[in-house]
Copies of this chain bind each other. A is one copy, B any other.
Amino acid sequence: MGDVATHKENLVRTAMRLFRRQGYASTGLQQIVAESGAPKGSLYHYFPSGKEALGEAAVTLAGGLVREMLEAHAVKHADPSAFLRAYARTMAGWMADSDFRSGCPVATTLLETAPASPTITAAGAQAIDGWIEVIGGVFERAGVEPREARTKAQLVVAAMEGALLLARVRRSTRPILDVAKLA
């Protein structure tokens, strides 16, 4: 038998990477299986509901990675302005590293599946809520009222998602870095 954890994990990681670059619908299961190195037939063993389950897992994984990044910046920067700058710099770095070809894996997949796929939509909503929670926490600790902190955090997330699109189209990190001016 193959190594379950490795095969399953490779499948999800590869799916996340490809969805991010090519989109959800444009990425074939065949390509995911091939690039992950997992055996072809095993995909439906680990993910009985097929592509949708894979998409859900990829969104959840990506959401967690972004959240961890946000939390790391949050403990380092108490000042919202400094926090946003660090956040923006990180995202800009990811974008430049991919040569402006890979956006946010959560947004890319969600735009294509929400609300048609309830499970992916739910996974995406949970991921985004997590980000808003972390960002809102930074604002709150800086003295912003809880309700307004949450609204501002939501605005930051929206602006960042949009900025990632603009950055890809323009091949420039400028839109991403400008999000930091929201503080």
Would you call A110 and B165 a contact (CB within 8 A)?
A: yes
14 pairs, CB–CB < 8 Å, chain A vs chain B: A23-B23, A23-B111, A25-B25, A101-B115, A107-B162, A108-B112, A111-B111, A112-B112, A151-B178, A155-B178, A155-B179, A158-B158, A161-B161, A162-B163
In this complex, which of A22, A100, A155 has the most chain B Cβ atoms within 10 angstroms of its Cβ? A155
Since A23-B24, A155-B179, A160-B162 are in contact, a sample of 14 more A-B pairs with Cβ atoms closer than 8 Å, ordered by chain A residue number, is A26-B112, A100-B115, A107-B162, A112-B112, A114-B168, A124-B169, A125-B170, A151-B181, A154-B166, A157-B162, A158-B160, A158-B166, A161-B161, A162-B162
Determine which of B112, B115, B159 lies in contact with A155 in the assembled complex, contact meaning CB atoms within 8 Å.
B159
The reply to whether the CB of A103 lies closer than 8 angstroms to some CB of chain B is yes
Determine which of B25, B101, B163 lies in contact with A23 in the assembled complex, contact meaning CB atoms within 8 Å.
B25
The reply to whether the CB of A175 lies closer than 8 angstroms to some CB of chain B is yes
- Distance in Å: Cβ of A31 to nearest Cβ of chain B: 13
Number of copies: 2
Chain B residues with CB below 8 A from A166, complex form: 128, 154, 157-158, 161
Chain B residues with CB below 8 A from A101, complex form: 115-116
Q: Which residues of A are at the interface with B, using a C-beta cutoff of 8 A?
A: 22-26, 100-101, 103, 107-108, 110-112, 114-116, 121, 124-125, 128, 151, 154-155, 157-163, 165-166, 168-171, 175, 178-179, 181-182
Chain B residues with CB below 8 A from A23, complex form: 23-25, 111-112
A54 to B155, CA, bound (A): 33
A155 to B154, CA, bound (A): 14
A101 to B155, CA, bound (A): 21
A162 to B110, CA, bound (A): 12
Would you call B128 and A154 a contact (CB within 8 A)?
A: no
